[in-house]
Structure 1
Amino acid sequence: MTRVFVYGTLKKGQPNDSIMLDPTIGTVKFLARARTVDPYPLVIATGDNIPFMLNKPNNGQRVGGEIYEVDDEMLQFLDRFEDCPEMYQRTLVQLEIEEWVGEDEDKPKTGDVIESFVYTTTTYQPEWLQYPTYENYDTDGDHGLKYVCRDKRGQDVQ
């Protein structure tokens, strides 16, 4: 099992959260809510308003999200879903636990720091560094940049 930190459309209540809940894709266990130890730029970009965590540590804000434990099948699916390694790269980051809900015997406490993979990108337009950064992504946030979900043919999905 591998720990994966999600900060965007895969979080609970966001447009792609059903992926993390689909047992036909692979095994997933929600472990915790956490925040990156180092600040990163979390921006919303492209015409589809996709959240990107740019792999530029010590810029932006400490990014909040959720930690999951996933099996190899789900990890391979997430790599394809995130177009890894072309669009996103799986990067190890340090996370500060805000609330642990996993059922581990040695469960971390609030404030503990653990390591997890996160999908970041080093492939972005230079102007993205000038975009507003966010510490927490919500498609319905007051930024007004609602995520546009498209199928493989480029058609909007409702």
Structure 2
Amino acid sequence: MDAAELARFHAKVVRGPGPGDCWIWTGAIGDDGYGRFWTPTPDGGQRMIRAHRYALATVHGGLDALDELHVCHVCDNPICVRAEDGPASHLYAGTAFDNMADRAARGHHNQQPAAAFFRHETKQERAHKARVLRDHVRVHGYDPEAVATLLRGVTAGQQRLF
């Protein structure tokens, strides 16, 4: 991770103004609903890394520090890249077991009713919702009320994004 690569990454992040707000990835979003970031490879090619993984790597000393680890979201927002050293971070590194335990604790396991949370949507539906949020932030900036509406479905008839 060099300075130019870090600057390119951070140019695609819009930070919410509040102390607990998500930092929204405004770059590419894959078919699974997670942000995508490309880094150069030694052979002159490119390698895709999930944006939240890259974000946490910037805090933990590089991508090698996260080998064998999963990157988990505290906020349940797949395009959040708020990685910090301390309790304000929305991302943390954990084992596969940690990731599955966190998923179950949040009610995202397969025994939940179909109406619950994004885990019961197709990847395409989740990707569409992530793109709706990203596109809104790209056009309007980080408006906490609008982002909350999109994430939580706080208006009548609004479907919860995640």
Normalised by the length of structure 1, the TM-score is 0.25
Higher strand share: 1
For CA contacts below 8 A with separation 6 or more, give which structure has more relative contact order. 1
Normalised by the length of structure 2, the TM-score is 0.25
Larger-Rg structure: 2
